[in-house]
């Protein structure tokens, strides 16, 4: 299970309010994308869901449980960071298994889970390599693998492809779509790339200045934008 509910969620940094009255329900297995211009609050909202950022007001529920005040490790969600967050001195196997090792999982279990993630991500032949001996796309796969081995209820991605070149971005976009099909796990994905949003999402949440401007399927947003901001952002003809 991996349903997520935001109930009137708000965030201040000192006097600056950056997230304003967000209500949102995400169903188990849904692929939801947050889009919006730089500084609109996408990362802050995602980090609040992950528990990496305190929630100033409102509630966050996971499968109906109030997790607003719970630590990230108690939420059962995995954040996928950009690939430069890999440990350079560890090979792919150890990079992927690290969180399980620190959690005290038995070696056989770590091996099995890393093996399965490597298979899904087509990294079987690269387990002994260090990050510097991998391509950008392979490194990003390792970063995703680190999240997969924890078998989370939901994946949280913050612009995972933004430091890849255009061709690799397209390839990884397909990989992420395939991953969602394979695992069927809830995914929240932040991007400022409209094409990424339109091709991956079940539903898109358009944010501006910490508020939701519209929520809908890619088709809804394209064909029936609620306002000029959404129309211009999505590039649809309103």
The answer to whether 160 touches 143, Cβ cutoff 8 Å, is yes
Q: How far is the CB of 175 from Mg ion (least distance, A)?
A: 21
With binding defined as CB under 5 A, does residue 43 bind Mg ion?
yes
Q: Tell me, residue by residue from 117 to 156, as one string, x for binding to ligand ADP by CB under 6 A and - for no binding.
A: ----------------------------------------
Is 77 in a helix, a strand, or coil? strand
How many residues appear in the chain? 238
Contact call for residue 41 and ligand ADP (CB under 6 A) = yes
Q: What is the C-alpha separation between 237 and 224, in angstroms, rounded?
A: 9
> Tokens 């992420």 map to which residue?
176
Binders of Mg ion: how many residues, by CB under 5 A?
1
The interface region with ligand ADP, picked from 32-40, 64-72, 105-113, 137-145 by CB under 6 A, is: 32-40
CA dihedral 219, 225, 228, 229 (to 10 degrees): -60
| Residue (118 or 188) nearer to ligand ADP, CB | 188
Helix (H, G, I), strand (E, B) or coil at 122: coil
Least Å distance, CB 42 to ligand ADP, is: 3
11 closest CA partner among 42, 32, 37: 42
Which residue from 13, 84, 87, 174 is in contact with ligand ADP, where contact means CB under 6 A? Answer: 13
Q: Determine if 51 is a binding residue for ligand ADP (CB under 6 A).
A: no
Q: What are phi and psi of 211, to 5 degrees?
A: -120, 155
| Contact between residue 132 and residue 142 where contact means Cβ atoms under 8 Å apart | no
Choices 23-31, 40-48, 80-88, 172-180 (CB under 6 A): range interacting with ligand ADP: 40-48
The answer to whether the CB of 228 falls within 8 A of the CB of 74 is no
Chosen residue from 35, 40, 49, 80 binding ligand ADP by CB under 6 A = 40
Distance separating alpha carbons of residues 198 and 219, to the nearest angstrom: 8
Q: Rank residues 43 and 163 by Cβ distance to Mg ion and give the closer one.
A: 43
Residue with tokens 């990989």: 175
Q: Which of 4, 18, 148, 204 binds ligand ADP (CB under 6 A)?
A: 18
- Our CB check for ligand ADP shows the closer of 84 and 87 to be 84
At residue 6's C-alpha, the angle toward residues 4 and 10, to 5°, is: 145
- How many of the chain's residues bind ligand ADP (CB under 6 A)? 10
Which residue, 37 or 235, has its beta carbon nearer to ligand ADP? 37
* Binding status of residue 38 toward ligand ADP by CB under 6 A: yes
Q: Which residues of the shown chain bind Mg ion in the complex (CB under 5 A)?
A: 43
Q: Which residues of the shown chain bind ligand ADP in the complex (CB under 6 A)?
A: 13, 18, 36, 38-44
């Amino acid at each position: 299970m991996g349903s997520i509910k935001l109930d009137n969620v708000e965030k201040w940094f000192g006097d600056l309010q950056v997230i304003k009255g967000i209500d949102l329900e995400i169903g188990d297995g849904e692929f939801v994308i947050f889009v919006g211009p730089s500084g609109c609050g996408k990362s802050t909202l995602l980090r609040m869901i992950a528990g990496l950022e305190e929630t100033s007001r409102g509630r966050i529920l996971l499968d109906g449980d109030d997790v607003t005040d719970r630590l990230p490790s108690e939420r059962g969600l995995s954040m996928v960071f950009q690939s430069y967050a890999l440990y350079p001195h560890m090979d792919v196997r150890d990079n992927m298994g690290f969180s399980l090792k620190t959690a005290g999982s038995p070696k056989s279990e770590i091996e099995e889970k890393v093996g399965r993630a490597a298979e899904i991500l087509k990294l079987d032949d690269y387990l002994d390599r260090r990050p510097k001996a991998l391509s950008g796309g392979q490194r990003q796969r390792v970063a995703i693998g680190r999240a997969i081995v924890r078998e989370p209820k939901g994946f949280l991605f913050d612009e995972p492809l933004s430091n890849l070149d255009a061709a690799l971005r397209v390839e990884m976009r397909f990989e992420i779509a395939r991953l969602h099909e394979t695992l069927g796990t809830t995914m929240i994905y932040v991007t400022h790339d409209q094409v990424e949003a339109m091709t991956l999402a079940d539903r898109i949440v358009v944010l501006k200045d910490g508020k939701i401007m519209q929520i809908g399927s890619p088709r809804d947003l394209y064909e029936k934008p609620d306002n000029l901001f959404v129309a211009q952002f999505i590039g649809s003809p309103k």
